[in-house]
Amino acid sequence: MELREEVQLSGIPVLWHTNLADEDLRELYTIVCTDPDLAQSKIDVRGFAVSVRTFVRAVPFKDGYCLCYGLKDHLVVIYRSSFDWEIWGARLAEVKELKEEQAEELRTERLLFQVTDQHLREKASMVVRAGQYEEAAQLLEQRFQQARAIEERIEKNFRVKWPKYSSRIFEDVLRLFSCFPNTDPAVAFLRAHAKHWDKSVWFAESYEIRSRTSYKELVPGEIDSYHFLNHTTKEVVFAEIHKVLRMAVERFPNEGRLYEKVCLFCERNTQVALALEYCRLAVRSSLTDNTKEIFSFRLKRLLKKAQMVQQTGPLRDRRLRR
């Protein structure tokens, strides 16, 4: 069906978009011009109020119908025979049925994924509690890969944007990695899958928080890592965190914001030596932070703080449990 655009006929004050010939349009106009709704179909503007009243009719014409819609001076007219309208209606019904089937398949895919993911999470939590960290790392990797695979399959088969469950699972996987006695599995996971440096900093902060969480403060259902983390010194914890931060700056060496976050994180946790190390790296790369401050100024401030620590003496090594 080929539509003619903006057809104007002499003596008829209507602009047409139609597949009818000119003589058929004149004949149709004699039918619809007597319809009172056509005269009232217009746009009214009164101050800031705008009202639109459109004209919509299925007009019997020849051996079929004309679908007419628009305004009194601007109409779209599509003519089909009765047989063609039946075919068109059947096609619409077929498309609707197909969409309903696809929606049901999509719901089934999502439900199956959620059930499988929950099973993997519970199994990973169980083996972490049992101290089987190598098996737990494999299960966590399987969870993430499954989420990515289902996203790709649904986007390809259903042409819809799958909710990014892999992003949510990514953070949950890192939470479970924070219960491990070392950060090596998390570093490997972040190196393979993290597309932005902020995930590494987030994990470092999470690992540090977990390291000073007492048994009573654990949320119900959380991993009970009391047997490990509450009997670990701060130096051991930050030796593990240093692996994460070093991997992050190796992967994103030109991200000034990363160095800023790392320096602030280390400074907050009285790790001035680590903060100095990363600040010097940023100075050598001529980076700036979020405030456009040159890292050389931050380095001077950290050096003064390091001197103060030396003068007051090192802090007594304490257990992390509070």
Which domains, and CATH codes, for the chain?
A: 4-85 (no CATH), 194-322 (1.25.40)
Tell me the C-alpha distance between 88 and 197, whole Å.
53
Strands (E), the chain: 4-8, 15-18, 43-46, 49-52, 55-61, 64-71, 74-81
d(C-alpha 202, C-alpha 171), whole Å? 9
Task: Take residue 282 and report the two structure tokens written for it.
Answer: 């940023």
Separation of alpha carbons 208 and 275, rounded Å: 15
In percent, the amount of the chain with pLDDT more than 90 equals 40
Q: For 286-295, how does the pLDDT look when each residue is reduced to its tens digit (9 = 90+)?
A: 888 766 667 8
Tens of pLDDT, residue by residue over 241-285, are: 999 999 999 999 999 899 999 999 998 888 888 989 999 998 888
Whether 211 has a pLDDT exceeding 80, the answer reads: no
C-alpha 68/C-alpha 28 separation (Å) is: 10
> Among 244, 281, 292, which residue's Cα sits nearest to residue 265?
244
Q: Which tens digits make up the pLDDT trace of 42-96? A: 888 888 888 899 999 999 999 999 999 999 889 999 999 988 888 988 999 999 9
pLDDT single digits (tens) 107-163: 888 898 889 999 999 999 888 888 899 999 999 999 999 988 888 888 888 777 666
For the CA atoms of 151, 157, 162, 164, the dihedral, rounded to the nearest 10 degrees, stands at: 10
Answering whether pTM is above 0.95, one says no
